[in-house]
Structure 1
Amino acid sequence: MELIRGLQNIRAQHQGCVLTIGNFDGVHVGHQAVLAQLRQRATELNLPSVVMVFEPQPLELFNPQAAPARLTRFREKYHWLKQQGIDRLLCVKFNRAFASQQPSEFIEDLLLNRLGVQHLIVGDDFCFGKNRAGNFAMLQQASVQHGFGLTSTASLLKNNQRVSSTLIREALAQDQFERATDMLGREFSLMGRVRHGAKLGRQLGFPTANVWLYRKTLPLQGVYAVEAITKGGRWHGVANIGSRPTVAGRVEQLEAHFFDFQGDLYGQQIEVVLKHKIRAEQKFASVDELQAQIQRDAAAARAWFAATASV
């Protein structure tokens, strides 16, 4: 999948496409239904399929305190979109200048002149341009005037509820992993590069892989039974996700101990699949108390994996 990072990198060869626009946070089954439409229409027209996303997401610019925790940061979003067989991902830098353009400029300059959109797929609640004045009705008028196709996406329902990133966050916050999996179309996971840490886990007898999550807020926190997907294979383990209050941690990160693992993961991009919540993150009075709890957490994770393997 080709990545076009920024409007300044749109080239002449990018003219002509079938396009959809959105946040695509989580790339859940509702998104996947839209992407299937996109691929089908692109095939019919013999054109590239293109997804346009914004960084930061609009609410993160206008009201960062109210912006929800992301299910996927940009690198993860790229990964999951690539799995859907999309040809190009256009990442637009979302700033106040971009947000303040007139809706007609968005349509005529970006969609038509620069991208040469032949067919557009968006929700009928899609708004754009200064003060969100552009809407689906305006796109309908433009599609007739300029001769491009337009499709409105229908929301995907599961158990009579619209599949959304919000519902997935709620499911994760309530430890309803099966419900989240049903809406995501896969188990929830976090991805990142393993970094060097303070080596405290090694001193406590539980060497850990430290993964920086690069997020201001997390969709969940606590201690979990996990499965790591690495270049060398899959490993069960136990992970703490949060700020590590016992050791005065300030950065949200993932620290995972993988059972029976012998090797070096430093510098490697790994995926950590969350399987089961063991407990909430908490602060202990001493490192000794923390060590004892880690032993109990590891035992609980091993027991959970053993129980699920026998089912």
Structure 2
Amino acid sequence: MKIIRGIDNLNNEFTQCVLTLGNFDGVHLGHQQLINHLIEQGKKLNLPTAVMLFEPQPLEFFSKRAPTRLTSFKEKVRLIEKLGIDYIIAVPFTQTFANMSANAFIQDWLINKLNAKYIVIGDDFQFGRDRKGDINLLQQYTPNNHFSVESMQTFVWNNLRISSTAVREALFNSDFELARCLLGRDYAIQGRVVHGNALARQLGFPTANIHLNRKKPALQGVYFVKVKNCCSNQYYHGIANIGIRPTIEGKKAILEVNLFDFSGDIYGQYLDVTFVCKLRDEKKFDSLADLKQQISQDVCTAKQISAKLTN
């Protein structure tokens, strides 16, 4: 799979394609169904498949109160790549792009630049200035431009409409089993271990710190987690804190993971952190001593859970 960053960098990668576009936050089962359908059409037409993503996501651009984010751009790309897509077109969502009319987007981008012969979108997807573009507008262009369009119906599981919003709600309620059913996999965050302020090590609980690369993570609190070292393929249990760390007046959310029975150097390596259950909310403690005592309790609770899973 190849990532094309910006439509102007398309060059001569392909002359025609089949295309879908959207936010794809979480790459849940509904997204997977749509992308798999696109791949089937690509095989029928013998054309490359392309997924157009927007970064930041439109709501993040327009509002500071945008929904929490399930996946960073890198995580989203990794999940889509696994499905077998040929190209990802990553579009910077700027004010200029936001001002583009839906008609101009269709004519200039989808027809002139991408030469899309088949386009599929979710049934609720809208695009262009004032969100005036939808499946009905796309269909107006099909007779003269020799491309077909299709709107995929929402994927439903147990009478529940699968959506990024539904996944966020499941995570907010710490219902990781429901999140797994909606995503088709356990909810996890993957990232590279970076250097922190070493406070956790001073407290006796060294952590692997991972920058979240998103403004608002979908989780906040302390969790029992399963961790895979993507470099060594080793697995661990541990506890993770995801949040701003109010006791030390933190400002930016970060993921800190304490791996049980581990003392090696993993700076720069990638971890895949799967969230199993929530232990408690993040809170501000009166002193570092109180924080240390609470972490000790968290570790004890998490190890009891770990023991039940391994027995």
Asked whether the equivalents of residues 123 and 154 of structure 2 are also in contact (C-alpha less than 8 Å), the reply is no
Q: Which amino acid in 2 is paired with 1:282?
A: K
Asked whether the equivalents of residues 239 and 257 of structure 2 are also in contact (C-alpha less than 8 Å), the reply is yes
Per-residue CA shift, 1:11-30, capped at 9, x if unaligned?
12232111001100000001
Per-residue CA shift, 1:249-271, capped at 9, x if unaligned?
22210111101113211111221
Q: Which amino acid in 2 is paired with 1:10?
A: L
Q: Which amino acid in 1 is paired with 2:279?
A: I
3-state SS in 2 of match to 1:12: coil
Alpha-carbon distance in 2 for matches of 1:102, 1:36 = 29
3-state SS in 2 of match to 1:51: strand
Q: Which amino acid in 1 is paired with 2:13?
A: Q
TM-score, length of structure 1 as denominator length: 0.96
Corresponding residue of 1:103? 102
Corresponding residue of 1:39? 39
Corresponding residue of 2:224? 225
Q: Identity of counterpart residues, as a percentage? A: 46
Deviation at 1:123, TM superposition (A): 2.5
Alpha-carbon distance in 2 for matches of 1:140, 1:61 = 28
Of residues 96-105 and 273-282 in structure 1, the stretch that sits farther from structure 2 once superposed is 96-105
Alpha-carbon distance in 1 for matches of 2:31, 2:278 = 27
Deviation at 1:189, TM superposition (A): 1.0
Deviation at 1:147, TM superposition (A): 0.9
Corresponding residue of 1:54? 54
Deviation at 1:215, TM superposition (A): 2.4
Q: Provide the aligned length of Structure 1 versus Structure 2.
A: 309
Deviation at 1:178, TM superposition (A): 0.2
3-state SS in 2 of match to 1:137: helix
Instruction: Give 1:146-225 correspondences, 5 Å limit.
Output: 146-225=145-224
Q: Which amino acid in 2 is paired with 1:228?
A: V
Alpha-carbon distance in 2 for matches of 1:309, 1:278 = 19
Does 2:252 match 1:251? yes
Alpha-carbon distance in 1 for matches of 2:224, 2:124 = 39
Unmatched runs of 5 consecutive residues or more in structure 1: none
3-state SS in 2 of match to 1:120: strand
3-state SS in 1 of match to 2:126: coil
Asked whether the equivalents of residues 223 and 279 of structure 2 are also in contact (C-alpha less than 8 Å), the reply is yes
Asked whether the equivalents of residues 118 and 148 of structure 2 are also in contact (C-alpha less than 8 Å), the reply is yes
Does 2:274 match 1:273? yes
Alpha-carbon distance in 2 for matches of 1:216, 1:125 = 24
Alpha-carbon distance in 1 for matches of 2:175, 2:244 = 22
Unmatched runs of 5 consecutive residues or more in structure 2: none
Alpha-carbon distance in 2 for matches of 1:28, 1:133 = 25
TM-score, length of structure 2 as denominator length: 0.96
Alpha-carbon distance in 2 for matches of 1:306, 1:22 = 42
Of residues 191-200 and 69-78 in structure 1, the stretch that sits farther from structure 2 once superposed is 191-200
Deviation at 1:115, TM superposition (A): 0.7
Corresponding residue of 1:135? 134
Instruction: Give 1:18-29 correspondences, 5 Å limit.
Output: 18-29=18-29
User: Alignment RMSD, CA only?
Assistant: 1.2
3-state SS in 2 of match to 1:111: helix
Does 2:8 match 1:17? no
